[in-house]
Structure 1
Amino acid sequence: MGCQVEAAMPPPAQPHILLVSCPLQGHVNPLLRLGRRLAAKGLLVTFTTFRHAGLRGIHPDGACARGVRFHCLLRERDDADQMTPEDMLRYVLEAGPAALADLVRRQADAGRPVSCVVNTTFVPWALDVARDMGVPCIATLWTQSCAVLSLYHHFYNNSSSNDNTITFPEAPEDAPVALPGLPAMSMDELPLMVRPEFAGNLWSQMLRAQLVDVKEENAPSPLVLVNTFYELERVAIDALPVAVVPLGPLLDDDDGETGNDDDDEGVMTWLDAQPPRSVVYVAFGSLVDIGRDETAAVAEGLAGAGRPFLWVVRDAYLLHPPEPVVAASDDGHNGKIVAWCPQRRVLSHGAVGCFVTHCGWNSVVEALAAGVPVVGYPWWSDQFTNAKFLVEEYGVGVRLPAPVKPDALRACVDMVMDGPEAAALRARAATWKEEAATAIAHGGSSHRSLHDFVDILRTHV
């Protein structure tokens, strides 16, 4: 679907949805995918975030791509490539609210008044700005699982605080945490932000603001949209003390939002030449850096596994790679190492038999939707909880112990690819693939949720 020309007035009954993303790739991708679905329903959709060189899929200011118009929230800073994710979050927190208010005013002046603001986690102030400016509808796209949402909700709404240390109130630190709709979890299976050592940091403050402080007396709470599907998290969703709208998995067929499809470093051609279910795909996301030593250990483990592998390696390690990475790179027949690849297309390729992943929620959803078994290596944030669910609740993989050791990686890959339980893992993964496809198909649970959300939007024009 195309975009209207900038000067044109929208049709009278057309809602205008402003999407405000935290400037992290794992937030940008699902929000853009949601935007494209809304645009395909005939809604006017604008996307904004802080532009920086590390983000893929962000088009120039005023451009339109697949029905979504792009506007810069904040121009890229000269030192953006030196900013840590927390530095970036702090900068957006300081400068973002005024910039967003200005963008909302400019849209109204251009004859496109905003009827709904949808934010992602870690930019809670976007909903405050929307309320202050009289935007009639507000919503959040929760980019993690409903299980993690439940953990955070109980933590931030029922926790006690002494000396800036926040804990689940009625459980000792060494006792499993058991909440309605969730399995019992040990401390090392919980998201980082609910662990005492992370209480009070900026990420935790933004989560608290999103889940507790973004509310106003006698004002409706924001709608909570989730990139999941009801069949996957039925028990957690039914037990949640807040209503959610599961409308995932949010997927694109061609992954065009994350790069040029014609510039995939020959990945798809290379996969076409590999036997079915033979390739180990390794990717730890856009944020996780496991360090040089563990990167070298992964290289040794992959080189010694005797299987073809596709490995997405951070740019820094491609420019100045550890020796084992150099050796693995030189073996063009056995493996292929790239700085980026179209992950959705890779996971859907018949040559891929295993996904070694950091267990970020987008990767979890994409793996389940593709029916690919996993080796989980959680590193940060909600990934520890996601790894537990992948292994113990969804039954589609194994967890790699930390820190990575070459022999342990080889053993985990062997277990998933052709071990005694490999057939059962593949069968369960195939079942989740069918469930995900059914959810987003016409009449499925997520399809109905999206339709209901669009109906809500149309009432706020």
Structure 2
Amino acid sequence: MASNIREKHVAVFAFPFASHPSSQLKLARRLASAAPTVVFSFFNTAKSNRALFAELSCDNILPYDVSDGLPNNDVFVGSPLDAINLYLPGAEEELRRAVRVAEKDTGLKITCLVVHAFFWFAADMAEEMNIPWVAYWSAGTCSLAAHFYTDLIRQKTGSKGPDDEITDLIPGLKVVRLGDLPSEVVFGDLQSPFAIMLHKMGRNLSRASAVPVNCFQELDPDLAKNLSSKLNNFLHIGPSNLISKEKTPLKVDEFSCISWLDNQKTRAVAYICFGSAFTPPPRELVELAQALEETKTTFLWAIRKDSNKHFPEGFLERVSANGMGKVVPWAPQEEVLNHVAIGVFVTHSGWNSVAESIAAGVPMICRPILGDQHLNAWMIERVWGIGLRIEGGIFTKHAARRALEQLLSSSKGPAERIESLKHLAHKAVAPSGTSTQNFKSLVEVVISGSA
């Protein structure tokens, strides 16, 4: 086999926003390690590549820059969605151009496309090149199913509203609230570039040679079984945080979060973090802060410094002086979640955070903001039973107080259920586990070079 592999050249298309590029680089590194004589060209925007490869070198992964859609290297001003809408119109042409550059540089024709599933046009590119394409989904099975079945969902829902709960709307999912589906499926701006991209993705997934997912199949067995019957090589290969952590150097805990947690009571601390891209509105930050103080909940809160001005007057000084809380601009999240002091994770329900919380066995309080986060929160509360969505969907002092007291008290249900899922997640990535075996199947598709 080795003599055949040396001529292989795999193109990896990263979606250059939020945590997507780092997730795809993790996948590329796993593949590059499993196939050391294959060349992997990694296509991403210059800004994102600089961040990813600043402290990383891998002999068989070569970064290539593509345009972010901004004219003349202008400085971008706008929302994350604005940035995506600027990037998308030229993405296909830019990636095709960059592929030609990489082929010329290496002297090797591309033999496989490993792309973020968003890039539905890779189906046409792979067909033209007569090579396999791999559509990687970096989130959960539930959200992928929503996009795969978008046409079916739209046919079934008719005039129903966002508060309606529909049984058997998505094959493999017993019931779901319409308003918790990603907004691009039913109720959002269905003609936006992002919504159109997701719709086309769902329609083209069945053309992929393989569809790996950053999840483990035991989490949603019915959804996994259904999609496995519809897609080629539908492969659960995660959660990636359990697989790649031993290969990734830990960031320095510059704000001493772990040493602070070492001095707290077991399972008594609320860890609060809403990701790097979005934060709840200022009023909600005030309400959550007030609930923390009134319940005397010990907490570690990771939040951007520019949000500190929204806290109640004197809040930071009081919680620091009495030792009740610690507010930092960044925390080593996986280490924090795996600390014995953490009893609950207050989160936006982004997939990476959900996967890390499950892997650590920490129940969640969810305040979803956008994208797949609402559906993840539905699964956390109503399907898996491992946490709560904040009552009413936004932080009020009453809702936050109630959720904190419920999950940090003697309520053992969510803690016991997430401990069970934690065991299944760790088992899936063990040497004989399902995710490990599925990854071996993925490697075979990637190095085969035949569509």
Is TM-score (shorter-chain normalized) higher than 0.5?
A: yes
Residue-by-residue CA offset, 1:142-201 (whole Å, 9 max, x unaligned)? 123222222222223x36xxxxxxx33465414533232112222223222223343222
Residue-by-residue CA offset, 1:316-352 (whole Å, 9 max, x unaligned)? 314xx11427623652222222222222222122221
2:430 maps to amino acid: A
Matched, 1:49 2:44: yes
Q: 1:454 aligns with which of 434, 443, 446?
A: 443
Q: Which residue of 1 aligns with 2:150?
A: 155
Counterpart mapping for 1:34-113 below 5 A:
34-43=27-36, 44-52=39-47, 57-60=51-54, 64-65=57-58, 68-74=61-67, 79-109=74-104, 110-113=106-109
Change (3 A) 1:233 1:149: same
Stretches of structure 2 lacking an aligned partner (at least 5 in a row)? none
Question: Is the 8 Å Cα contact of residues 20 and 48 (structure 1) preserved in structure 2?
Answer: yes
- Alpha-carbon distance between aligned partners in 2 of 1:29 and 1:100, rounded to the nearest angstrom: 18
Q: Which residue of 1 aligns with 2:424?
A: 435
1:331 maps to amino acid: V
Q: How many residues matched?
A: 433
Q: By how many angstroms is 1:72 displaced?
A: 2.1
Q: Which residue of 2 aligns with 1:114?
A: 110
2:134 maps to amino acid: A
Q: Which has a greater percent of helix?
A: 2
Residue-by-residue CA offset, 1:288-338 (whole Å, 9 max, x unaligned)? 3312111222222223331221112134314xx114276236522222222
**Percentage identity across paired residues of the two chains:** 25
Classify the secondary structure of the residue corresponding to 2:368.
coil
Q: By how many angstroms is 1:34 displaced?
A: 1.4
Matched, 1:308 2:308: no
Q: Which residue of 2 aligns with 1:164?
A: none
Matched, 1:239 2:226: yes
- Alpha-carbon distance between aligned partners in 1 of 2:119 and 2:248, rounded to the nearest angstrom: 22
Change (3 A) 1:257 1:315: farther
Which shows bigger deviation, 228-237 or 16-25? 16-25
Which shows bigger deviation, 254-263 or 407-416? 254-263
Counterpart mapping for 1:134-145 below 5 A:
134=129, 136-145=131-140
- Alpha-carbon distance between aligned partners in 2 of 1:56 and 1:279, rounded to the nearest angstrom: 36
Change (3 A) 1:119 1:151: same
Stretches of structure 1 lacking an aligned partner (at least 5 in a row)? 1-9, 160-166
TM-score (norm 1): 0.84
Question: Is the 8 Å Cα contact of residues 227 and 248 (structure 1) preserved in structure 2?
Answer: yes
Q: 2:214 aligns with which of 219, 227, 231?
A: 227
Matched, 1:407 2:398: yes
Change (3 A) 1:334 1:81: farther
Counterpart mapping for 1:28-427 below 5 A:
28-43=21-36, 44-52=39-47, 57-60=51-54, 64-65=57-58, 68-74=61-67, 79-109=74-104, 110-132=106-128, 134=129, 136-156=131-151, 158=152, 167-169=154-156, 171-174=158-161, 175-177=164-166, 178-179=168-169, 180-212=171-203, 220-240=207-227, 242-243=230-231, 244-251=234-241, 261-262=251-252, 264-318=254-308, 321-324=309-312, 327-328=315-316, 331-332=319-320, 333-401=323-391, 402-419=393-410, 421=411, 423-427=412-416
Classify the secondary structure of the residue corresponding to 1:386.
helix
TM-score (norm 2): 0.86
Instruction: Give me the CA root mean square deviation.
Output: 2.9
Classify the secondary structure of the residue corresponding to 2:376.
helix
Question: Is the 8 Å Cα contact of residues 277 and 350 (structure 1) preserved in structure 2?
Answer: yes
